[in-house]
Amino acid sequence: LTNVTWSSSMKAKIWTIPNCPYCTKAKKLLEFKGIEYECLDGPVDNWPTSPYLEIDGQEIGGFTELARYLRSI
């Protein structure tokens, strides 16, 4: 991960599938951190689980990677 300065102007994209508990957790974490997000339907070909997230164009990964990323900034 690269060094990122915390900014509430961060924007995320989250790819989700229906009835996905980790998708819901990821959205709640983004909301808690004040990060705007765009929700997109469906899995991502190059990621084995849902959700899949990008923040400001940077590939993050799934919920676990999102939590780790947000702790690091």
* pLDDT per residue as tens digits for the range 11-62: 999 999 999 999 999 999 999 999 999 999 999 999 999 999 999 999 999 9
- Burial (CB < 10 A; 0-12, 13-18, 19+), residue 53, is buried
Query: What would the two tokens of residue 54 be?
Result: 């990008």
Q: Which residue has the higher pLDDT, 3 or 50?
A: 50
Query: What would the two tokens of residue 31 be?
Result: 């909301």
Q: Whole-model pTM?
A: 0.86
